[in-house]
Amino acid sequence: MLRRQFISRMAAIFGGSVLSTQALSKAALSSTSASTSNALAAAATSISPGDWQALRKLFPLTHDYVQLSTFLLASHPKPVADAIAEHRKGLDENPSDYWHDRFLTVDQDIAKSAANYMGGKAENIALTDSTTMGLGTMYNALALDSGDEILQTTHDHYSTDMSLAFAAKRAGASIKRIDLYDDPAKTSTKDVLQRLRDGIGSETKVIAVTWVHSCTGVKLPIRAMANTIAQANKQRRSDKQILFCVDGVHGFGIEDENIDELGCDFFVAGTHKWIFGPRGTGVIWGNDKAWQMTAPVIPSFSESYDVWLGLTEQDKVWKGQHMTPGGFHSFEHRWALPKAFELHMQLGKANVQKRIHQLNTQTKQGLAKMKHVKLYTPMSSSLSSGLVVFDVDGLPAEQVVKKLHDKGIIMSATPYRNSYSRFAPSLINNENEIEAALAEIARLA
């Protein structure tokens, strides 16, 4: 980057009357990464791997309720809350200087922290405000042509359905929807893969799936599905290669996976659920091949701005940054996101996966013993994750939710045409809380 030229122009573009070119140059040429780290050092909280009691103390969550629906929207743990407060203070006291001190490097720093947690290359990560923004950005950025087919499942969320519908309408593409299972509790990898093979057609260009289904709790075997798609791609021309796209939000922050090894081409997730990130944050990861098949939907405020100014060339800009929607965001939240990834790394990804699966297995085993309960989520941890979905005989899901809320237990109902009751045991829960929730379900017989 021709940084001094850039700084001179940015002074005029972003308000030269407020901040002098000299001050801007000084701010931009400083080591912003180091200064940010130093400013937030006090927010770092040391926690031992797998110390769940210590983790619970980091959250301001009320103890008046058993919280079995925190996956909906995270409470901010102390390291994240402290970082948000620090950034908010700086932005409130001197917004122009505080922003100018950071904007040149902060998105790259956030992408690096995400890559440190999830794997892959930082330059392949775009930042968003949510899973929905990520899905809309990704699917509408794909280079689809008239006649191309999008293969999706009947188990996806509204956000996937509508993002695909918008993309297909614009491109003149078609959408084909398939079931990957009939009885979710009896889901098998073999059946999922066979249905996937049967669903792929000669015009299939995109396969869109959800890693963990919030409607049933089923976790798809993404790696095995990726292998199946790779086999299909061996028989196809380069311009007919299938892209494998995954909404990964309800596995991200639970499953101990490296994104490079998961096998998908695109992966989208909000980071304000299981990751415990700031509310209003998310990521899109894509491999090199996948990003080459996209074009931006929203202009980026990354170094792509330099391209427009004539200061650099597009191929020198990180692809993830180029695809990150621009504009002014809730910066104090986005800039605090690395603290959530750091917290997960302190806990240990393998420890996190083991603990959440342990509590979910306890929940499923307890529900399976109740004759008045129908369990929809598979018992196997290989086909389930952090969501346990079930029915209570004679009671709509909303009534189950209300009855348990009256007993001090917060759960949820699945937001689909067929709505079921749902528990989401997480890292902030313990075995006694699970037993208390199971006892209340038992009393509904």
Q: Which pLDDT tens digit goes with each residue over 1-30?
A: 434 344 444 444 444 433 433 343 334 434
Provide the CATH number for the domain around residue 300. Answer: 3.40.640.10
Residue 36 pLDDT more than 50? no
Residue 27 maps to a domain: no
252 and 203 in one domain? yes
pTM, whole model, 2 decimals?
Answer: 0.90
What is the overall mean pLDDT for the chain? 92
Q: Which has the higher per-residue pLDDT, 285 or 302?
A: 285
End-of-domain residue from the set 328, 346, 364 = 346
Pairwise CA distance, residues 150 & 134, whole Å: 18
Pairwise CA distance, residues 306 & 127, whole Å: 19
Q: Which pLDDT tens digit goes with each residue over 197-227?
A: 999 999 999 999 999 999 999 999 999 999 9
pLDDT at 57: 97
302 and 279 in one domain? yes
Residue 79 maps to a domain: no
Beta strands of 341-444 (E only): which ranges? Answer: 373-375, 388-392, 409-410, 412-413, 421-423
Q: Which pLDDT tens digit goes with each residue over 352-395?
A: 999 999 999 999 999 999 999 999 999 999 999 999 999 999 99
Residue 230 pLDDT more than 70? yes
pLDDT at 45: 63
pLDDT at 128: 98
pLDDT at 20: 38
Total count of domains within the chain: 2
Residue 426, domain extent = 349-442
310 and 250 in one domain? yes
124 and 244 in one domain? yes
pLDDT at 46: 81
Helix axes 158-171, 131-141, angle to 10 degrees: 20
End-of-domain residue from the set 346, 363, 385 = 346
End-of-domain residue from the set 321, 346, 371 = 346
Residue 78 pLDDT more than 60? yes
Pairwise CA distance, residues 434 & 445, whole Å: 18
Residue 44 pLDDT more than 50? no
Q: Which of 278, 170, 266 is nearest to 210 (CA)?
A: 266
**In this structure, are strands 243-247 and 421-423 parallel, antiparallel, or unpaired?**
unpaired
For the chain, the distance separating the N- and C-terminal CA atoms, rounded to the nearest angstrom, is 68
Provide the CATH number for the domain around residue 412. Answer: 3.90.1150.10
191 and 258 in one domain? yes
234 and 169 in one domain? yes
Residue 177 pLDDT more than 60? yes
